[in-house]
Amino acid sequence: MNLRRVMLDVDKARARPDMIEIAAAIEASPGVQAVNITVKEIDVETVGMEVTVVGEHIDYDALITAINDTGAVVHSTDEMVAGTHIVEHVPRAR
């Protein structure tokens, strides 16, 4: 399967690892071409982040392992896009 985009909910401790370490680990994962890390929430002990990864044939297991190896924790996979091109999410009106 050609996994092209993955959006993850990731938490880290406030002190370590820093976002640079997480971004470098993700970027070094097979198939990754770019990563976007956005801080969504900060509390006393943790930082909640939305991580979006794009590329060609992203190795999902290696990606998750790379993040975990930094000391951050993947809470959920919120989006996956696979195939020959990226399909953008279109919100449905109800």
Per-residue pLDDT tens over the stretch 11-62:
999 989 999 999 999 999 999 999 999 999 999 999 999 999 999 999 999 9
Q: Does domain 3-82 have CATH number 2.60.20.30?
A: no
**pLDDT at residue 86 above 90?**
no
Per-position b or e across 37-76, b if 16+ CB within 10 A of its CB: beeeeeeeeebebbbebbbeebebeebbebbeebebeeee
